[in-house]
Amino acid sequence: MLRFESLVALRHLRHGRGQTLLTVAAVAVGVTVIIFISSLIYGILGHVTGQLTDMLPHVMVRARERTPAAAPPRGGPAPGGGAFFARVERQNEQQKRLENWRHAADVIRAVPRVEAVAPAVTGQAIARRGGRRLGVQVFGADPAALDRVTPVTRYLSSGYYQGLGAEEVVLSYEAAEELGVAAGDRVRLASDEGAAATFRVVGIYDLGQEQYLAYVTLRAGQSLFGTRNAVDSLLVRTDDLYGADAVADRLAALLPGLEPDPWTRRFPEFVSSLGGYKATALLVSGFSLVASGFAIASVLIVSVVQKSRQIGILKSLGATRPQILTIFLLEGLGIAVVGGVAGALLGAAVVHGLGYFRQAPRHPGVPAEPLFPSDLSAALVGAAVASAIAATMIAALLPARRASGLDPVEVMR
């Protein structure tokens, strides 16, 4: 036979049938909503973040920019009694190149949380194909190294990037469309520095963003932008997107002449909007919890009112206040656990089912993206169930305390 408190709680729940089912359903729906909404919000968040940051170096290390000092303002009395001020405007900043980049790359690789470093030469160029001209952003980097920092290969819709030759280029889908080129066609790139070369298109890269990009080898980039053996940046990937700031600070301390720039400083609006999304997810989950908590509390309070005479009887038989309190808390726990597990299963099933809905592919050859990007993790399910159980127990505490404090003489009268 079960212990007294467990036995009475179990019988209450079993005997309550419809009422018990209703309360369990309230918890289950609450947990389902929490899992569904949270996984959807975090899924969308992850999808958007992935799209925006996958091709973003977490930290970009450059030489400290040359910033010519502005001349002090000059002024004096103007003819006629007025005053005049003149100021020398700052000159356009120029990007200093990294000559000794191999040493800097070694230092960066040794920093904890750094996963990969890719030396790169970047710059603007004009791409020409027949009569068409298009301004493109050129990335000159070793494909093996760059793939580890920004995975170009992952987003190739055709062709290859690994094994890129000195006279080969990978173009973004949009650039290829604008230029009207396909794999095997030739395209001429001319940089602002006046250098130009012809490349054969060997791959089309498609991230789904309106970007005109061209990936060439490091050597080709260096030739195109006249940097000789130098590069203009070291692109760094860390093991945690949101840990980039800390790594950048560490690099700044280790490499005083260089300027590590984390992605968060380059896109502050995006970072703050991520915070907004997360806060929304938390709010929605919190409201679901509170709503189901109230439902549970109201049903348990009704149960206490219905059971008040029974509580009086149990007290007359010698049941103590803690025993009565335990009975009603166990009832709450039973409802919470059954409702929580049912809600977790239902929520996981709903989220899993939504994964089957896909968008129409953007372009032929590109895999269809999910219509409802979701991120269902064991941690999320566990947190939803745990918080539902906690909310239920808090909701059960009030009626349980009320039950334990009932005067047996009053309720049995």
Partner 1 sequence: MTPPLRVAPANAVASACVQAAADVDPVVETSGLEKVYQGKVTVPVLRGVDLRVLPGEFVAVMGQSGSGKSTLLNILGCLDRPTGGTVRICGADTSRLDDTQLAHLRSETIGFVFQAHFLLEEFTCLENALMPVLIRHRRVRAEDRARVLALLRRVGIDDQRDKTPDTMSGGQNQRCALVRALANEPRLILADEPTGNLDSRSGAEVFALLREVSRETGVAVVMVTHDDRLARAADRILRIEDGQIQEIELAESDGAAGIRIRQ
Among positions 226, 355, 370, 408, the unique one binding partner 1 when judged by CB under 8 A: 408
CA distances from 67 to 124, 205, 319, 386, 400 (A): 21, 36, 82, 55, 70
Applying CB under 8 A, the site for partner 1 has a residue count of: 25
Q: By C-beta, is 14 or 352 nearer to partner 1?
A: 14
Query: Contacts with partner 1 in 315-334 (CB under 8 A)?
Result: 315-323
CB of 387 to partner 1, least distance (A): 31
DSSP symbols for 290-346: HHHHHHHHHHHHHHHHHTHHHHHHHHHTT--HHHHHHHHHHHHHHHHHHHHHHHHHH
Q: How far apart are CA 103 and CA 7, in angstroms?
A: 72
Distance in angstroms (rounded) separating the CA atoms of residues 340 and 382: 9
Which residue number, 330 or 380, has a Cβ lying nearer to partner 1? 330
**Cα distance between the two ends of the chain:** 31
Residue from 197, 313, 338, 366 binding partner 1 (CB under 8 A): 313
Select the residue interacting with partner 1 from 32, 310, 374, 392 (CB under 8 A).
310
Q: Does 113 bind partner 1 (CB under 8 A)?
A: no
Binding track, positions 5-44, relative to partner 1; x by CB under 8 A: x-x---xx-xx-----------------------------
Q: Which of 58, 197, 44 is nearest to 114 (CA)?
A: 58
Q: Between 49 and 323, whose beta carbon lies closer to partner 1?
A: 323
Q: How far is the CB of 412 from partner 1 (least distance, A)?
A: 7
Touching partner 1, residues 187-226 (CB under 8 A): none
The string of DSSP codes covering 42-65 is HHHHHHHHHHHHTTS-SEEEEEPP
Q: How many CB atoms neighbour CB 131 within 10 A?
A: 6
Strand, coil or helix: what is 29? helix
Nearer to partner 1, 209 or 316 (CB): 316
CB closer to partner 1 out of 197 and 305: 305
Q: Is 306 in the site for partner 1 (CB under 8 A)?
A: no
Whole-number minimum distance, CB 27 to partner 1, in Å? Answer: 22
Window contacting partner 1 (CB under 8 A); options: 1-9, 85-93, 153-161, 267-275 = 1-9
How many other β-carbons are positioned within 10 Å of the β-carbon of residue 180?
Answer: 12
Of 3 and 87, the one with the shorter C-beta distance to partner 1 is: 3
Among 47, 200, 309, 401, binds partner 1 (CB under 8 A): 309
**Nearest distance in Å: CB 303, partner 1:** 12
Q: Is 314 in the site for partner 1 (CB under 8 A)?
A: yes
Contact criterion met (CB below 8 Å) for 352 and 374: no
Residue 75: closest CA among 66, 62, 86, 91: 86
CB 398, min distance to partner 1, A: 20
Containing 124, the helix (H) or strand (E) segment is strand 114-129
Residues making contact with partner 1 (CB under 8 A): 1, 3-5, 7, 11-12, 14-15, 309-310, 313-323, 408-409, 412
